[in-house]
Structure 1
């Protein structure tokens, strides 16, 4: 921007500082106040802000990694855990994690609920009744 202002001409130092501050990103304006911006060459404040922002991003990244680790100590409770990823703190409707294959009733890994806890139905009872009728009665 300084090069453009020099080429156009007619800007004194105060006008250059004003223009630079007006066009500054809002995030920088939180860190560099208008009263502190006294000269164009004072770039140390912006460099400080960029360093602080990089540290903040790194800290947030480390916090997300620590948060993604599953809790091993707590037993599975279907009322408290997500039925999609088996983690606590949210429901399946708000889940942003990849789905896992597990029984949402008992928490057993590698099996779906319909295979682990089949719903009671007529087909199973009819098959059991037919097997009982086919067996010879002890007399």
Structure 2
């Protein structure tokens, strides 16, 4: 018997820029918003600076790249823990590209660049292969309609 599990995620977003005046002129209205999720710290956000946002705040593009990077991290760590690969450090410098396609903007690619350190006793080839598997099971990467590539570097401690 197969059971299907569904997880639901709820957020609340409020445009806080209204305190600075209405959105009546594209060049001057505030793009600032507040994202809240029950039981978690609030996150202030805005548009990318290319779209007149505040460079000091997170924007949706940043958060999408971060979601893909963190999903890969968590998928990879789970696979390693279940496969006998001991990870001692993990960092990623991910980049996303927003391009114009058919006169509209869309995310065209995200590249993950994880740098992983494993215990000297761990199988390096297996650790490298598990990045492919992590990509395959990362549900955020499986949900987007653009390529998510990874250029992983695995080293032994």
With structure 1 as the length reference, what TM-score do the two structures score? 0.26
Of Structure 1 and Structure 2, the greater helix share is in 1
Q: Which has the higher contact order (CA 8 A, sep 6+)?
A: 2
Of Structure 1 and Structure 2, the greater strand share is in 2
